[in-house]
């Protein structure tokens, strides 16, 4: 496996990356070069060649950091991340279709 340059912005913060049950790849990251907001989800349906589907799952004045994601047996995607300057944990749940229905 070889590293490659991507178009994704990130303020030098942690990301989450997982392969979904259907084989699609999902990247969860902060879509800004300076701050940890918004938290964005991007999906590749062509095995990491492109990420034509993406959506901010949360944004605003708060920061969102250290995302972790899983997909449960029912197909739901669960993301947890810290917020409020790492004093709270946020839990977000959605189906992949919530992202696939939004093209970049």
Provide the β-strand partners of residue 70.
78
- What's the total number of domains in the chain? 1
Q: What is the pLDDT of residues 1-31, one digit of tens each?
A: 688 888 899 999 999 999 999 999 999 999 9
Question: If we measure between CA atoms, which residue out of 34, 43, 42 comes closest to residue 63?
Answer: 34
Task: Name the residue range of residue 36's domain.
Answer: 16-100
pTM above threshold 0.85: yes
Residue 87 is assigned to a structural domain of this protein? yes
65: its two tokens:
């950091």
Residue 8 is assigned to a structural domain of this protein? no
Residue 6 is assigned to a structural domain of this protein? no
Residue 4 is assigned to a structural domain of this protein? no
What's the rounded Cα separation, in Å, for the pair 57 and 43?
Answer: 13
């Amino acid at each position: 496996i070889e590293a490659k340059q991507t178009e994704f912005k990130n303020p030098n913060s942690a990301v989450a990356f997982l392969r979904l049950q259907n084989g699609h790849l999902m990247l969860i990251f902060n879509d800004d070069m300076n701050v940890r907001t918004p938290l964005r989800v991007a999906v590749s349906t062509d095995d990491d060649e492109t990420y034509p589907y993406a959506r901010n799952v949360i944004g605003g004045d708060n920061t969102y950091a250290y995302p972790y994601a899983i997909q449960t047996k029912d197909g739901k995607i669960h993301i947890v991340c810290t917020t409020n300057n790492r004093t709270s944990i946020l839990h977000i749940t959605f189906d992949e279709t919530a992202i696939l229905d939004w093209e970049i």
